[in-house]
A and B are shown apart, each in its own frame.
Chain A
Amino acid sequence: MSAPDSLRGIWPIAVYTWREGIRKKTLIGFLILSLLVIFGSMFMTAFMAGIDYSPSGEINIDVESKLVKDVCVSAIAIFGVLIAIFTSASVVPQELENRVIYTVLSKPVRRYQYLLGKFLGVQMIVIANLLLMSVLFFIALWIKEQIIPTLLLWSTLLTYFQFLIVSSFTFAISCAATSSVLPTIAGLFIYITGNLTNYLNDVFKRSSGSDNPFESAVAEVAFYLYAILPNLRNFDLKDQILYLAPNDPPAGILIPNLILYGVLYALSGYLLAFWLFRRKEL
């Protein structure tokens, strides 16, 4: 089978996964909720009516747009990751459940083609949802400030790579599972753990050098876990992009590095999925 032939089967599976995914009620529900939060953020500032004066003036206007930005960025991150987790966790187990996978794999489609198609389909759903939420965020910001900060595009991009890591490992677990419940829980766990990785460093700093052997052992474990687990907090750079001056050398260096970081962990997640899927008895 030549290279183009090997890729030929992937695209229809990706498109099929995308079509199926966007019809899911859970995802539509999440999307509607996120849109409500994004638009709702514009009205949250209604609570702030009253103080309109400070020595430098126009304070409330700045706080309002800050609130809109913070709430929208957080809403995109939370609902986006939920969409990524639920989609990644369900695409393979659902096909096992309704036995569609057997029909597909009985065709001249290799397992890696099927898996890559599914993974691409999931990413298309995640990207489409992210884009939709971002566009609405831009509109909300435009209504509030009449500006569209182009730096927000970088922020959106980094958010996607955060989703990519969570999504790829959730997808890997879903390849070993028979239902979508376990991978969904695992996906949430990955997201939570990924955000708590910094705490492992704190545990290491506090426990290292202790005379207590148990504490020393905990410090060792925490250190190694901190060193190898993906740290999703690294992507918090999106906040800096939102609020720092356009010229910020560390952000300029970090963005490509974070993209590479996301790609490497996502690739490892996909390889794990492939390894697990190959071993699966079908």
Chain B
Amino acid sequence: MNSKSNALIGLCFAAVFILGALQGSRINTIKKDEVFYRWLISAGTQIPLTKDERIEFERGANSGRNVTDPMDDELFTAIDDLAEGYLPEVPIDPESDISQITGEPYSKLIRAARLGSAALDDKIWEMATAPEFAEQTANFHTYLSTNRLQSASAAFSLSTLYQGEEQQAQGVGVTSMFFGLRKVAANFLWLQVEDFWHEGQMHRMVPLMRTCVALDPSFVDAYLMGAWHLAYNIPAALEFTPEELKEWSERRQRWMGVREHWYFAGVDLLKDGAWNNPRDFRLYFDLGYSIYENKLEDHENAAIYIREATRQWHELWVDRMYYLVLMRNGQYEESIEGWEYYMHPDKGGFPGHLVGTRSIKTNKAFLAEARSEDAHECADAARAFSVEAAKRGDDAEAQKALAAAVEFEQLAKSEMATARTMWDLLLGQGAGDTLALSRLALIDSREKWRNGDWQVALGDLEFASYEAITYYEDLSALTMEIKLSISEDDPGYEDLVFTTSERMAIERRGRVADRKDVTKNRIRRITCDYIGE
């Protein structure tokens, strides 16, 4: 009897133990689904950003992981197509759900992943576990285990962390990761990073920062501070690379000096952070504003990333910075719209917001200036076309083009008058508004130059560059443009003087004259048949 009871208890133990193991297997399945779900959320937010940025998919390019034949795009596209029929209607936000490349709304999956609402997250989770997506789920795990997903980070599996350990987690033994203490290890390493920073040992900070985020991929502050060190503090100790010594980077689509390499190291770190924490606005904001805008002066990409920051839960100042970057990127209409929304009393905005009120006027002035510039270009092109047509003997076309040129000139004048009114208004409202002062000087100089009075135009510009430093670059560029346009036949040529810095700038330009052009597409508000797109 006793041995029977013992056997029965033993059997019960075995049965319950096996049930525990089965439950463990169920948990493993859920965790595998979780990896897929988190990849969907990350890919849904990051892949469209990469495409909008017009760069190749590059995650992991610096990690030392050699991904051959990456399948990220293909896999995501397949899932995206299936999701169209699976997901419920997802509202389209006209501000941020339109692709910069195609001008079409993003797919449902992308919109749902970026929206981050509880109901849609539940639906994406349901999707990640649904039998309809079984093939894609299986493909995902196959690609993940065979190292064919560039987007798969160390966060997905400890094995991948070991593979990349030599490159990523230098100086950290595997023991640091035991017993769920990885996060604590990351914190203490971070304290060490701070010590190195205070001691000025920046070369020792970089591997430790990488280790920190490898150990704790959700350590958002480490990404933020790390990127700040990489893009601000380390380059501050380095010299600027002369333009002619910069090298072209196909991956970055940019001429790169020593400092640029560090700026992009910061970009990579923040992008990695955004993949691991796709719902944290701070990563997108720092990427857009702190690096693309402030360091690389890439307003277009800055706008793309800050727009993403506004899509996630964010603080109010992010909106304001977004409108500012839109203005710097020449997207004046969008910036005005944004500020109007921000100040709209019926939409919970801030009526009479001082910065908003001023920014709307500034944007309107810039917009009028841009329209005037476009109209001028059209007028010049029409005039040139008219001369050509007259030479060909096509008088009708010549007359038509000439009439168009006059019309465009009138439009240019009227737009410039609008701009001038706006700047005058700003100058009147804010005594010593240096921006308004410099823009007015710029407008005056341009007009005087057009009228052939280049010496007065240069005088105005010189005055403006002392009085209003805000747009010094624009003032300086126009000064050069005017000086270089003067030929020996122009009256007063003998008085033309180039300063030392201007001569050096001309020399520099000459040395890099054969460079690949990286200028971004200009937004054209006024189009005409006489100018191609």
A contacts, CB < 8 Å to B = 44, 47-48, 50-51, 54-56, 59, 62-63, 66-67, 70-71, 73-74, 77-78, 191-192, 195-196, 198-199, 202, 205, 227-228, 230-231, 233-234, 236, 239, 243-245, 247-250, 253-254, 257-258, 260-261, 264-265, 267-268, 271-272, 274-275, 278-279
Contact = CB atoms under 8 A, between A and B. Distances in A.
B528 to A, nearest CB: 42
B122 A249 contact: yes
B184 A275 contact: no
Contact of A74 (B145, B162, B184): B184
B183 A250 contact: no
Interface stretch (B64-72, B216-224, B389-397, B400-408): B216-224
A236 B187 contact: no
A250 B26 contact: no
Contacts of B222: 63
The A interface, classified by DSSP as helix, strand, loop or mixed, is helix
Interface stretch (B30-38, B89-97, B333-341, B476-484): B30-38
Contacts of B55: none
Given A54-B224, A227-B21, A271-B12, 13 more contacts: A55-B290, A63-B190, A63-B221, A67-B187, A71-B184, A77-B180, A228-B18, A233-B180, A249-B122, A250-B30, A257-B23, A271-B9, A275-B9
A74 B180 contact: yes
A108 B159 CA distance: 55
Nearest to B190: A63
A275 B16 contact: no
Interface of B: 5-6, 9-10, 12-13, 16-21, 23-27, 30-31, 33-34, 37-38, 116, 118, 121-122, 124-125, 145, 158-159, 162, 178-181, 183-184, 186-187, 190-191, 194-195, 197-198, 218-222, 224-225, 228, 232, 279, 282, 285-286, 289-290, 294
Contacts of B286: 54-56
Given A54-B224, A245-B279, A228 B187 contact: no
B187 A249 contact: no
Nearest to B289: A55
Contacts of A62: 220-221
21 contacts: A48-B194, A54-B286, A55-B224, A55-B232, A56-B290, A62-B221, A66-B219, A74-B181, A74-B184, A78-B179, A202-B159, A239-B218, A247-B121, A250-B38, A253-B125, A254-B34, A257-B30, A268-B19, A271-B9, A275-B9, A278-B5
Which 9 pairs between the two chains have the least Cβ-Cβ distance?
A: A249-B125, A55-B290, A264-B20, A250-B34, A271-B13, A268-B17, A268-B16, A247-B118, A265-B20
Given A254-B34, A272-B13, A56 B121 contact: no
Contact of A70 (B122, B179, B183, B289): B183
Contacts of A198: 158
Contacts of B33: 250
B180 A195 contact: yes
Contacts of B31: 234, 250, 254
Contacts of A192: 178-179
Contacts of B197: 50-51
B121 A55 contact: no
Contacts of A249: 37, 121-122, 124-125
Contacts of B224: 54-56, 59
Contacts of A51: 194, 197, 225
A274 B9 contact: yes
B6 A278 contact: yes
A281 to B, nearest CB: 13
Contacts of A205: 145, 159
Most chain A C-beta atoms within 10 Å of own C-beta, residue among B16, B18, B37: B16
A47 B194 contact: yes
Nearest to A53: B228
Contacts of A245: 116, 279
B116 to A, nearest CB: 7
B16 to A, nearest CB: 4
A199 B121 CA distance: 31
Given A195-B178, A234-B24, A264-B20, A243 B221 contact: no
B180 A236 contact: yes
A253 B24 CA distance: 14
Contact of B6 (A63, A67, A279): A279
Contact of A195 (B25, B145, B179): B179
Contacts of A47: 191, 194-195
Contacts of A202: 158-159, 162
A42 B285 CA distance: 29
Contacts of A248: 121
A108 to B, nearest CB: 19
B218 A268 contact: no
Contacts of B30: 250, 253-254, 257
B229 to A, nearest CB: 9
A234 B27 contact: yes
A174 to B, nearest CB: 16
A78 to B, nearest CB: 7
A44 B10 CA distance: 50
B93 to A, nearest CB: 19
B24 A66 contact: no
